[in-house]
Amino acid sequence: MKEKAVVIEAPGGPEQLKLVDLEVGAPGPDEIRIRHHACGLNYIDVYHRNGAYPLPLPARLGMEGAGVVEAVGEGVTHLRVGDRAAYASQPPGAYATARVMPAKCVLKLPEAIDFETGAAMMLKGLTVQYLLRRTLPQGGLQAGDFVLFHAAAGGVGLIACQWARALGLQLIGTAGSDEKCRLALENGAAHVINYRRDVDFAAKVREITGGRGVKVVYDSVGADTWEGSLNSLAPFGLLASFGGASGPVPPINIGTLSAKGSVYVTRPTLFSHIATREATQEMGDDLFSMVGSGKIRIRIDRRYPLADVAEAHRDLEARAITGSAVLLP
């Protein structure tokens, strides 16, 4: 059967995104076919489109979605035809009306969570799960500890603000406007820094923490915040660099880590953490519990028809989207 899907034939700007008809067949072993009700929009999709994270061409885009399972391949036991489901998964291909894909990272979606929320929360929510629950400094994190989280008003950031509040952490969020700072505070940040006004955000972090610094920095911005993130750490602190929205991090002089107080640096990815079905289920259950309890609410700022995917990418790159956004097939 023919379905609509977004592809690129060459890396470049949003104009490279084409909505085409593609054949979608039956799932093979350990695969499912899912019909999307909503597709998630994430900054990693921009990296795939512009070639920062190269894909074999022609390439399909999109890393998360939610919908209904239409067919199940041999060996799949945790899903059945008719199940409501959601996922964050490789390979890309979520920008589509339907697709065949590996089943291991697809989870049953609780009835209490609608499709748009499911599509908007999986990649971002699982990212926050592995950051706050698994990417930890020496001795872990306890209630009252300070953490610094960049881009706190984005889709990942707003989930992190709420999750940190639920854990009793004092999250210091950075954002690029007073409006975004207010949004981070409303969602659970203990302190906020407008880095366009307080250019030396590390000095502000030191002021907030009484001079000590934070136990961990979660940084998805990359080049623009790298030096300040290092300068925000307490001795033996951890810098988790999990994205590069402003460009790649410069080469590291390892001696800098000792000069900053024997600090640690890591570059984690979600897909290392969800490499097995068991790990994906465990992390997903934690996320579903937090959303189902109301401790985390997923803010969907914008909804775009799948045909308007280029406009969605322009807004994403312009940082015009707070919270999450979804594509609707």
For domain 136-267, give the CATH superfamily.
NAD(P)-binding Rossmann-like Domain (3.40.50.720)
CA proximity to 272, closest of 131, 102, 66: 131
Q: What is the pTM of this model?
A: 0.93
Question: 229, exposed or middle or buried, with CB in 10 Å at 0-12, 13-18, 19+?
Answer: buried
* pLDDT tens track for 216-235: 999 999 888 999 999 999 99
Q: What is the pLDDT of residues 42-89, one digit of tens each?
A: 989 999 999 989 999 999 999 999 999 999 999 999 999 999 999 999
Q: What is the pLDDT of residue 105?
A: 94
Cα(121)–Cα(288) distance, rounded to whole angstroms? 10
Task: Inform me whether the pLDDT recorded for 323 exceeds 90.
Answer: no
Do 2-124+271-328 and 136-267 show the same overall fold?
A: no
Query: For residue range 93-124, what is the model confidence (pLDDT) as tens digits?
Result: 999 999 999 999 999 999 999 999 999 999 99
Please give the average per-residue pLDDT across 182-207, as a whole number. Answer: 94
- Outline where the chain has alpha helix (H): 43-50, 115-134, 155-167, 178-186, 201-208, 226-231, 255-259, 270-273, 277-292, 309-317
- Write down the domain spans for the chain: 2-124+271-328, 136-267
**CATH number corresponding to 2-124+271-328:** 3.90.180.10
Q: How many Å apart are CA 248 and CA 185, to the nearest integer? A: 28
233-241 vs 214-219, strand pairing mode = parallel
Report the side by side order of strands in the sheet with 2-8. 18-23, 2-8, 59-60
